[in-house]
Amino acid sequence: DAEITQSPRHKITETGRQVTLACHQTWNHNNMFWYRQDLGHGLRLIHYSYGVHDTNKGEVSDGYSVSRSNTEDLPLTLESAASSQTSVYFCASSPGTGATEAFFGQGTRLTVV
Amino acid sequence: QKEVEQNSGPLSVPEGAIASLNCTYSDRGSQSFFWYRQYSGKSPELIMSIYSNGDKEDGRFTAQLNKASQYVSLLIRDSQPSESATYLCAVKRSGYALNFGKGTSLLVTP
């Protein structure tokens, strides 16, 4: 079955380190998204992509970057991890034109110490 | 002003009752609306989508949309304890990204 997977599921890192969270989908969806979820804030959009080589900033993009070199993957990089980036990160994808329902990966719990 | 507003709850209903979850949005141009369910420690799961004014039924779920009032609701008939979760309302932004409310916690008591 087609799916969307994130790795790792849990990560502890130190302040200042670069961290990359992986997201891989096998639906051949054009659109991919990264959200973070924090108590009191709900899901907030970090970055998104509508196709290969396309990337866009969301509402909380500072300190994060993404690149899209193929349809299946949208890795999220924290350039220099900060304690404020401790959160649960969700990757999602949607087909593209027409249907806009988004489907989520299992999430990555990141702790920055 | 938050673009998508939901009452955080908790909303407590007895087993078998109708749970009514509400959501308002600020962008009058929004066209697509979604309800997700999220269990504690899990990822959001799509329940329903609605695009036109009126009601849309799917089993025990009914989504209602009123674009004039900028209001979306989800009714769950015959609520079950296993459906105790946080329910997220999402509205499509321009483009394809979704804007989420903070969610309403639903507790269905046996």
Of all residues in chain A, the one with the smallest CA distance to B102 is: A42
Residues near B81 by Cβ (< 8 Å), separated by ≥ 6?
Answer: B15, B108, B109, B110
CB B87 within 8 A of CB B35: yes
What is the Cα–Cα distance from A92 to A35, expressed in whole angstroms?
8
Q: Which helix (H) or strand (E) holds B56?
A: strand B54-58
Which residues of B lie closer than 8 Å to A, measured between beta carbons? Answer: 32, 34, 42-46, 49, 88, 90, 92, 95-103
pLDDT digit string (tens) for A24-79? Answer: 999 999 999 999 999 888 899 999 999 999 999 999 999 999 999 999 999 999 99
**Model confidence at B19: pLDDT above 90:** yes
Residue B101 near residue B90, CB atoms below 8 Å? yes
Mean pLDDT for chain A?
94
A27 to chain B, any CB pair closer than 8 A? The answer is no
Closest CA relative to residue A96, chosen from A35, A54, A44: A54
Residues A91, A106 contacting (CB under 8 angstroms): no
pLDDT at B1 over 60: no
Judging contacts by C-beta atoms under 8 Å, the chain B residues touching residue A44 are 100
Residue B2: predicted pLDDT: 62
pLDDT of B34-74, one tens digit each?
999 999 999 999 999 999 999 999 999 999 999 999 999 99
